[in-house]
Amino acid sequence: MDPRLNRILPRVQKPARYTGGEYREIQKDKRQVDLRFALCFPDNYEIGMSNLGVRILYGVMNNMDGVWCERCFAPWPDMEAEMRQAGIPLYGLESGDPIGTFDFIGFSLGYEMAYTNVLNMLDLAGLPVRAAERGEDAPIVVAGGTCAYNGEPLADFVDIFSLGEGEDVTVEMLELYRKGRQLGWSKAEYLRHAAQIQGLYVPSLYDVTYHEDGTVSAIVPRDGAPEVITKRIVQELDDAYFPTDTIIPSTEIVHDRVMLELFRGCIRGCRFCQAGFCYRPVRPKSREVLVQQGIEACRSSGYQEMTLSSLSSSDYRQLEPLCDELLDYCGEKNINLNLPSLRADGFSMGIMEKLQRSRKSSITFAPEAGTQRLRDAINKNVTEDDLLQSCRTVFEGGCNAVKLYFMLGLPTETDEDVVGIAELANKVYLTWRQYAVSRARGIRITVSTSFFVPKPFTHFQWEAQISMEEYQRRVQLLRSSITNKSIIYNWHDPDTSFLEAVFARGDRRLGPVIEHAWRSGAKFDSWSEYFNLDRWMEAFGACGVDPLFYTARERPYEEVLPWSHISVGVRPAYFWRERNQAYQSVITPDCRVKCMGCGADRLLACGVCDAPLTRREREEAQANG
Amino acid sequence: MAKMHKHRLLFAKTGRACYISHLDLMRTFPRAFLRAGIDVKQTEGFNQHSFVSIALPLSLGYSSVCEILEFELVGDTPLCEVPARMNAVLPEGIRVLDCYEAQVPVKQIAALRWVCRAQFDGGVPAGAGEQFLALFDTDALVIQKPSKKAKKGFTELDLIPLIHSLSLEERGSALELTAVLAAQNPGLNPELLFSTARERCPLFRPDFVEFHREEVLNANFEVFR
């Protein structure tokens, strides 16, 4: 650790964020290391350390001989000010060495509002933010995560986008770097070779041209780069690295518990959900592996809480036996087992009750829309009956607080749908009146609405976002429709959702806007205490970019979308077909009822997605005759 | 009266671990006991966890080689095995030095010996040490101590009865203060000596002070365990 930090750390908030030294941090002998990687998370320590992807990549890279992967998080502004004043560049937590001297700097991009932090961290590392201005000796800057699927707004700053799951491609990328170093490649030569690896997108090898109206006219690859870059997936999750022996932070983080990933992908096909499509195809882990990894992770961490994570845990085929087996261990060791992301149906409520070691006082449901028509349009296959039945179950169990999450501004939404939210909340109230074990303590129903952001690689990728004014009008309409004193209404501020909508479907012309906003002080934009919409509007003005071009415009099918050269495995034609179904409020059955031919199965070597048995389970069944 | 915990760990908190807060340490130890496979008496709430308590919480950023953690071993782990097993699973900078049965309650801790290193980047000014010692060589020195509880926002505190001994030694560009100070009811944080000196001694303006807790003492100034 830089000795100057000893004078700074006593003055900043939560200094344990900046020291490293946690249990199981990886230390390596620098003499045995030939490749150094700074795994950066463009938000604070508490959020970054809660990210399972970061922990997986940290383990994968450090398992490579000669590679030392260190962590780096965005310093909170109090620490940043101290570091800048003392002239301390951004450093890796493990070694304390400046990351500007490393071979790679990798960012995990989970949220558009973190883009300014990416620039700020590059700057704190002492590097030019623009890729073109970084020299031969500067680290290769790579970025992955959900936002990388349309990383175009960051194309000026990033050398390589890593698309999809990083377990395998990261290793290939580093091996190629070593090979290039042996052969004496220049950075440009390395990037040209990297572009040949499936899943690595080198934005500088693509020329983007625009029509006069501002839409993209063509995206043309150069130097042999592929026309379409397809994301990577892990073929067999059972065999993939899973961090059972991961770092245990010495300070409290957001998800301070064991996270056990049940499966990747989702069979549901909710039309607004980017994760639901970007993480296809569905690949479960076998129960046996999960039980073993879950127990091992608890034992080796000392955590007394475990969360089973996935996009829709009720869809894990063996959820009940899995929970039973984990409970056998957890019950004895006083470990709480959490199961979020459950569907509001009887089966899920049954499992949840079993996990509960005491009465649950509060439960959250996400019906997303207020009327059946709109829920059908977005393909959220939850009926009012499902929801009210589930509420009845929890009310009968003594629960007296329900949270309901909705979105406002979904395509085809009418005032009737908005008022429908209030009506649905009221029905939840009436269900409580009828079935509550005791009405003496009252009920608190919290309705929250967020502002819908159309995302790339969803059925709604061509849709306009409603204006902030229209969103506010709908908020007021809903507000005035809620008259029951037991129902509390919270709504999100539209400012960040508006910006998120700009960048989610943005193109390369947004690069200068991000840089301008950052230079005028934007950072930690996802934190309301630092976010300032005026600063962003000023940046749009200064760069001559109209944000409404990205948010308020419905795109025709023929338009070349800025992410047309990226494939998540799902065919654009499928997205468009489903979009039209939405306009007719026609639901699409989930993948298990009927395969709709989205195309994601082509990513699998075995060609079968969501196989009822994993390879391991098939082999075992065979062995047992 | 609360029943005394049966066992104690003597541990050091140095280096990067100085920045682990007391609350975070209270989360770290129960997890470490579980990782080490050492059975410890549990709390009896809904979220059961190891019942541990740390005597005299250390300020953030201070180092120490004499921290005492109270707990109760319930399994058959021999006491002598505990330090090595814990040290294998603790964060860098936290080292268990000893594990033993408690003899006397921690409320008998009367004093702490501190070593505080005041760094003067431009060299120690002549007379700074003398000025510092002279400040405390008096019958009473009442200061205003910030307090969240007090209506006025501060309480008045006479430092002198809480100071048992002070000695200064010049080491390079630093003055090293060894101080035996009251530990509790009330205790005296050595930082108060320096903030008071900063206000009242024109020559005593160190650029940085490091605080290190060196020993825990009883009312007879003997080592407390």
- Check CB contact under 8 Å for B210 and A336: no
Tell me what pLDDT residue A349 has. Answer: 75
Please, which residues have CB within 8 angstroms of residue A576's CB and are 6 or more apart in sequence?
A462, A557
DSSP for A468-526, please give it.
Answer: HHHHHHHHHHHHHH---TTEEEEE--HHHHHHHHHHHT--GGGHHHHHHHHHTT---TT
DSSP for A196-260, please give it.
Answer: TSTTEE-GGGEEEEE-TTSSEEEEEE-TT--SSEEPB--S-GGGS---TT--B-SS--TT-SEEE
Q: What's the rounded Cα separation, in Å, for the pair B149 and B129?
A: 34
Give B2's pLDDT tier (boundaries 50, 70, 90): low
> Which one of A15, A299, A303 has the shortest CB-CB distance to B19?
A15
Q: Answer yes or no: is pLDDT of A331 > 90.
A: no
Residues of chain B positioned with their CB less than 8 A from the CB of A248: 31, 91
Reading the block at residue A396, the tokens are: 């009968």
pLDDT digits (tens, 9 = 90+) for A243-280: 999 999 999 999 999 999 999 999 999 999 999 999 99
**Once rounded to an integer, what is the mean pLDDT over residues A157-169?**
98
Tell me what pLDDT residue A612 has. Answer: 82
DSSP for A60-93, please give it.
Answer: HHHTSTTEEEEEEEPPPHHHHHHHHHHTPPPB-T
B123 touches chain A (CB under 8 A): no
How far, in Å, are A140, A170, A204, A220, A225 from residue A188 at the CA level? 10, 19, 10, 18, 13
Q: Answer yes or no: is pLDDT of A328 > 80.
A: yes
Residue of chain A whose alpha carbon sits nearest to that of B208: A7
Q: Which fold has domain A235-358+583-625?
A: Transcription Regulator spoIIAA (3.30.750)
**Once rounded to an integer, what is the mean pLDDT over residues A230-248?**
95
Taking alpha carbons only, the member of A315, A320, A241 closest to residue A284 is A315
B74 touches chain A (CB under 8 A): no
Helix axes A166-183, A187-194, angle to 10 degrees: 140
Helix axes A346-355, A319-332, angle to 10 degrees: 10
**Once rounded to an integer, what is the mean pLDDT over residues A53-57?**
97
- Name the average pLDDT for chain A: 94
> Which one of B17, B33, B60 has the shortest CB-CB distance to A21?
B17
Q: Going by DSSP bridges, is the β-strand pair A444-451/A401-408 parallel, antiparallel, or unpaired?
A: parallel
**Once rounded to an integer, what is the mean pLDDT over residues A47-75?**
97
Residues of chain B positioned with their CB less than 8 A from the CB of A19: 16, 19
ipTM field: 0.91
- Domains delineated in chain B: 7-107 (3.30.70.580), 109-217 (3.30.70.3190)
| Helix, strand, coil percent content, chain A, rounded in steps of 5 | 40, 15, 45
How far, in Å, are A49, A306, A309, A312, A338 from residue A258 at the CA level? 12, 5, 10, 18, 10
Q: What's the rounded Cα separation, in Å, for the pair A272 and B104?
A: 65
User: B145 CA to chain A: closest CA distance, Å?
Assistant: 19
- Check CB contact under 8 Å for A248 and B31: yes
- Name the average pLDDT for chain B: 92
Please, which residues have CB within 8 angstroms of residue A428's CB and are 6 or more apart in sequence?
A387, A388, A391, A402, A404, A445
**Once rounded to an integer, what is the mean pLDDT over residues A334-350?**
81
User: Furthest-apart CA pair in chain B: how many Å?
Assistant: 60
Range among A435-439, A461-465, A621-625, B39-43 rated most confident: A461-465
Do the Cβ atoms of A337 and A308 come closer than 8 Å?
yes
Reading the block at residue A514, the tokens are: 């991000």
Q: Answer yes or no: is pLDDT of A346 > 80.
A: no
Contacts 24+ apart (CB under 8 A), A619-624: none
Q: What's the rounded Cα separation, in Å, for the pair B41 and B4?
A: 13
Residue A119 gets which letter from DSSP?
H
Q: What's the rounded Cα separation, in Å, for the pair A241 and A297?
A: 13
Reading the block at residue A104, the tokens are: 């790679």
Q: Which of A122-126, B48-52, B166-170, B194-198 has the lowest mean pLDDT?
A: B48-52
Do the Cβ atoms of B65 and B96 come closer than 8 Å?
no
- What percentage of chain B exceeds 90 in pLDDT? 84
Q: Which of A320-324, A586-590, B150-154 has the lowest mean pLDDT?
A: B150-154
Q: Answer yes or no: is pLDDT of A53 > 70.
A: yes
Q: Answer yes or no: is pLDDT of A338 > 90.
A: no
pLDDT digits (tens, 9 = 90+) for A487-505: 999 999 999 999 999 999 9
Tell me what pLDDT residue B188 has. Answer: 94
Residues of chain B positioned with their CB less than 8 A from the CB of A358: 46
**Once rounded to an integer, what is the mean pLDDT over residues B38-56?**
85
Reading the block at residue A289, the tokens are: 């592996």
**Which residue shows structure tokens 């990798």?**
A106
Query: Residue A278, SS3?
Result: helix
Reading the block at residue A243, the tokens are: 């961090």
How far, in Å, are A184, A404, A436, A606, B174 from residue B131 at the CA level? 64, 66, 73, 81, 15
Tell me what pLDDT residue A326 has. Answer: 94
Phi, psi of A11 (to 5 degrees): -95, -15
How far, in Å, are A80, A88, A423, B119, B137 from residue A13 at the CA level? 11, 17, 45, 23, 36
User: B214 CA to chain A: closest CA distance, Å?
Assistant: 19
- What percentage of chain A exceeds 70 in pLDDT? 99
Give the residues across from A115 on adjacent strands: none
B171 touches chain A (CB under 8 A): no
Residues of chain B positioned with their CB less than 8 A from the CB of A10: 60-61
- Check CB contact under 8 Å for A9 and B19: yes
**Once rounded to an integer, what is the mean pLDDT over residues A113-137?**
97
**Once rounded to an integer, what is the mean pLDDT over residues B50-54?**
90
Reading the block at residue A115, the tokens are: 């883009």
Q: Answer yes or no: is pLDDT of B1 > 50.
A: no
Tell me what pLDDT residue A394 has. Answer: 86
> Which one of A7, A21, A301 has the shortest CB-CB distance to B91?
A21
Q: Per this entry, what is the length of chain B?
A: 225
> Which one of A9, A20, A304 has the shortest CB-CB distance to B61?
A9
Q: Answer yes or no: is pLDDT of B71 > 90.
A: yes
Helix axes A468-481, A415-435, angle to 10 degrees: 30
**Once rounded to an integer, what is the mean pLDDT over residues A516-523?**
98
Q: Which of A344-358, A397-411, A478-492, B103-117 has the lowest mean pLDDT?
A: A344-358
pLDDT digits (tens, 9 = 90+) for A177-209: 999 999 999 999 999 999 999 999 999 999 999
Give me the total of CB pairs closer than 8 Å, taking one residue from chain A and one from chain B: 76
Reading the block at residue A566, the tokens are: 């990226």
What does R_g of chain A's alpha carbons equal in angstroms?
Answer: 25
Q: What's the rounded Cα separation, in Å, for the pair A14 and A216?
A: 46
pLDDT digits (tens, 9 = 90+) for A573-625: 999 999 999 999 999 999 999 999 999 999 999 888 888 888 888 888 888 87
- Check CB contact under 8 Å for A299 and B35: yes
Taking alpha carbons only, the member of A111, A123, A97 closest to residue A42 is A111
Q: How do the domains of chain A map onto residue ranges? A: 5-230, 235-358+583-625
